[in-house]
Structure 1
Amino acid sequence: PKREEVTGEVEKRVVAQLLTLMDGLQERGQVVVIGATNRPDAVDPALRRPGRFDREIWINPPDFKGRYEILQIHTRNMPLAPDVDLRKLAEVTHGFSGADLAALAREAAMSALRRAIQSGLIDLNQPSLPPEVFEKIKVTMADFTAALKEIIPSALREIHIEVPHVRWEDIGGLENVKQELREAVEWPLKYPDRFKKFGLRPPKGLLLFGPPGTGKTLLAKAVATESGANFIAVRGPEIFSKWVGESEKMVREIFRKARMAAPCVVFIDEIDALATARGIGVDSLVSERVVAQLLAEMDGIKALENVVVIAATNRPDLVDPALLRPGRFDRIIYVPPPDFKARLEILLIHTRATPLAKDVDLEELARRTEGYSGADLELLVREATFLALREDINAKEVSMRHFEEALKKVRPSVTQDMLKFYESWLEKARQLTVATKAKAAPPLYL
């Protein structure tokens, strides 16, 4: 370890002895020393120079070709069903190390064995099993799919969260926003050759802003499910710590893990709490240092490749302006309250599992819910269902009068003042971007 950071004298003497033996007065002969670590920064710097450890070899997590070969090795003696597609498995295992892939193959085999035991093909009470029994067991693609839910990439185990499986069809309306998210996250993964051919660099960051309840967080969940990329969720306020330097270290660690597990989506919810505009706070300047760290990570000297940052806020005016320029949050996307068509889609989604009476007219409800957000419409359906059950716990369906009663209770949360505020802020942000580009452009000589 680093001698200046350890308190014991034994460690210092061991490091000094190792330095002397590797490159001291006495030749070490034909001896090659190979060291291995996953914490190179914790090694004493005197060892990391020519004459001692001459070469430093960084072993990356395997790419698609490497993952495919590793899966072939670990399934070499495994009885695979014809539907198993190792190439597809290699495509969806972004950020998996060799050990993770070995665990994936082992878990899939265990799943096949469990299925054989449950079906009665294997009787655990028998002292021994004939070989023909094992010949009947095949590991299927369904076993690998089930194993994928259990195995988490090693680099993300500390910060892994279970993301609900939300599909694009679970979100009503917002077609333009969905398309922009597809272009930013899904296209670079699915069509990397097209991006390379056109010299196109995928956007680094997207800022989703709009009134509360319009589906910003839901869109991020759908991106995580649909793209198949690794997903890191950061709740803005949880970054802050009372210890000096810990908050910046946490931001640094999140981006380090995202680089290791690339392609990766980093989702920062309530970014206004994390990246408040500098110069207006009266605290101990922790928030300013966190913003500076975030700026450096997103567009600093160290490249951020195959990592997309998606942030969500309903107070865009509080976000530091330095984040809102190209190269950091390349795209600023307004998530508006749903229009008539979107409201109808949202009502259809939320009443999918609700038995409705014949007199329920969802189009009429969509027409009467002007100014309602997606969350308001979900609450409306839930309130109408509760009213039906309150009337009769054995009720078989929800009728229109229950929705009429619910409309009196659930009021729209989006006001005209809020819409004017968001639209005016978006206009200011566009003008700021244009002014920044014009300022950065070289002078023209006529």
Structure 2
Amino acid sequence: DAQVRLKEGVELPLKDPDAFRRLGIRPAKGFLLYGPPGTGKTLLAKAVAREAEANFIATKSSDLLSKWYGESEQQIARLFARARQVAPCVIFIDELDSLVPARGGAMGEPQVTERVVNTILAEMDGLEELQSVVVIGATNRPNLIDPALLRPGRFDELVYVGVPDKAGRERILRIQTGKMPLAADVDLGSIAEQTERYTGADLEDVVRRAGLVALRQSLATREVTMAHFEEALKDSRATVTPEMESDYAAMQGKLKQQASSIQPIGFIAPGMLEGRGSKG
């Protein structure tokens, strides 16, 4: 599902913008990839940029934040200016929740947070339009992101990247064991069945551990057997629990609701106007 939505939202508009102009619709400006850690959010962003034959600029929140006053906003403005110069371009921002946490919250220095959020809002939805530039953000905790960024014209599409199914796990295992000499008894389908809720990172760890078990038995070993994989599975576990999956499922509906709910502006604190009438 995540692959299809990214292909439709990123690859098609960058490769064939005339189709969108013909129908008089604008493509999505931003995509928020969210889900458990290790599910391949960064890899998806890289893959879609490659498929769309677009330039790819990757950055982390820590690279954009600075201790100097005004420097964080300048870094963001430079990032978007560079992307416009090399368009078509995909900007990928990892750990988005630490860059743009909800304003008014307790996270980070409030003034810096507000200025950074305002700068990103202005770049994505301001006077200077983003032409052939798509912004993809990734986070494990989408509920911490400022709701203003999830409204139409900013991060239009929220894409859940979950754990792979059995066929996906088998495919990942084939890729991870591509350079590994496997014995004839190794059944990747059986390993895929035993690794329910394992992420791509977990499966990579299983393959690595199987290789280490083989080396531990003999440094002269030439191949990895099914017994080595079974031993590796005993030391491995899924990082995604059923509770985590249900939490993310519940989050899907709430995120858009939270973005579209109207918050009070709050210039005047409650109670300030009480008693004014008698003095007037």
Q: TM-score, normalised by structure 1?
A: 0.57
Q: Which amino acid aligns with 1:421?
A: D
Q: Distance in 1 between matches of 2:45 and 2:86?
A: 18
Q: Which amino acid aligns with 2:121?
A: L
Matched, 1:369 2:195: yes
Q: Deviations over 1:376-411 (max 9, x none)?
A: 001101110111122122212110110111011111
Counterpart of 2:124 (choices 265, 287, 298) is: 298
Percent identical pairs in the alignment equals: 54
**Aligned-pair CA distance for 1:222:** 1.2
Q: Which amino acid aligns with 1:215?
A: G
How many residues matched?
Answer: 261
Q: Distance in 1 between matches of 2:15 and 2:34?
A: 27
Do the aligned residues in 1 keep the contact of 2:55 with 2:88 (CA within 8 Å)? yes
**Superposed counterparts of 1:4-403, under 5 Å:** 176-281=1-106, 283=109, 285-403=111-229
Q: Secondary structure at 2:180's aligned position in 1? A: coil
Q: CA RMSD in A?
A: 1.5
**Aligned-pair CA distance for 1:433:** 5.7
Q: Distance in 1 between matches of 2:225 and 2:88?
A: 47
Q: Which amino acid aligns with 2:128?
A: K
User: Match of 1:418?
Assistant: 244
Q: Which amino acid aligns with 1:256?
A: A
**Aligned-pair CA distance for 1:308:** 0.1
Do the aligned residues in 1 keep the contact of 2:151 with 2:259 (CA within 8 Å)? yes
Q: Deviations over 1:18-66 (max 9, x none)?
A: xxxxxxxxxxxxxxxxxxxxxxxxxxxxxxxxxxxxxxxxxxxxxxxxx
Counterpart of 1:404 (choices 207, 214, 230) is: 230
Structure 1 unpaired stretches of 5+: 1-175, 437-446
Do the aligned residues in 1 keep the contact of 2:41 with 2:161 (CA within 8 Å)? yes
Q: Distance in 2 between matches of 1:380 and 1:286?
A: 42
Q: Deviations over 1:311-367 (max 9, x none)?
A: 000011111110111110110000011111111111111112211112111111111
Larger radius of gyration: 1
Larger RCO, structure (CA 8 Å, separation 6 or more):
2
Q: Deviations over 1:95-154 (max 9, x none)?
A: xxxxxxxxxxxxxxxxxxxxxxxxxxxxxxxxxxxxxxxxxxxxxxxxxxxxxxxxxxxx
Q: Distance in 1 between matches of 2:257 and 2:71?
A: 36
**Aligned-pair CA distance for 1:193:** 2.4
Q: Distance in 2 between matches of 1:390 and 1:377?
A: 20
Q: Distance in 1 between matches of 2:261 and 2:73?
A: 31
Q: Distance in 2 between matches of 1:364 and 1:322?
A: 46
Q: Which amino acid aligns with 1:194?
A: A
Q: Distance in 1 between matches of 2:189 and 2:208?
A: 18
Q: Secondary structure at 2:43's aligned position in 1? A: helix
User: Match of 1:124?
Assistant: none
Q: Secondary structure at 2:251's aligned position in 1? A: helix
Q: Distance in 1 between matches of 2:74 and 2:3?
A: 33
Q: Distance in 1 between matches of 2:99 and 2:112?
A: 10
Q: Distance in 1 between matches of 2:33 and 2:201?
A: 16
Q: Secondary structure at 1:291's aligned position in 2? A: helix
Q: Distance in 2 between matches of 1:238 and 1:321?
A: 23
**Aligned-pair CA distance for 1:190:** 2.3
